[in-house]
Amino acid sequence: MSLRVAVCGSCGKASFPPPFLCPACGAREWREEEAASGTLEAVADRGEVRLGAVRLPQGPLAIARVEGDAEAGAEVSLSEDGDVPVARA
C-alpha cells in the first residue's frame, strides 16, 4: 500500500490530498500516482499521536501519522490506514 497522489490531467501539478480544483490551473481531471515513500521533514508530538510532514516524490507535503521513532530527515514508507496517511521508518 502507498499513498495515492492526484496529478492534474491538464497541467501536471501533483496534490495531496486530492483538491476539488487544481490549485494551479483550475482543472478537475486527475490521474493517480502512487507514493510509496517520502522524506520526513518535521515531526510534532501531539500526545497520543505523532504527526509528520512528509515530502512526497511528486512534490506535495502530506500530513501523516508517524509510527515508530522516525525523526526529521528520515526516509519513510507510506501507507494508508483507512483515509489516514501513515509514515513508518
Binding residues vs Zn ion (CB under 5 A): 8, 10-11, 13, 22, 24-25, 27
Nearest distance from residue 7's CB to Zn ion, in Å? 9
Nearest distance from residue 18's CB to Zn ion, in Å? 12
The answer to whether the Cα torsion of 21, 36, 78, 83 is positive or negative is: positive
User: Of 8 and 43, which has the nearer Cβ to Zn ion?
Assistant: 8
User: Torsions phi, psi of 61, nearest 5?
Assistant: -100, 125
Question: In 3D, which of 54, 72, 49 has the Cα closest to residue 3?
Answer: 54
User: Of 5 and 22, which has the nearer Cβ to Zn ion?
Assistant: 22
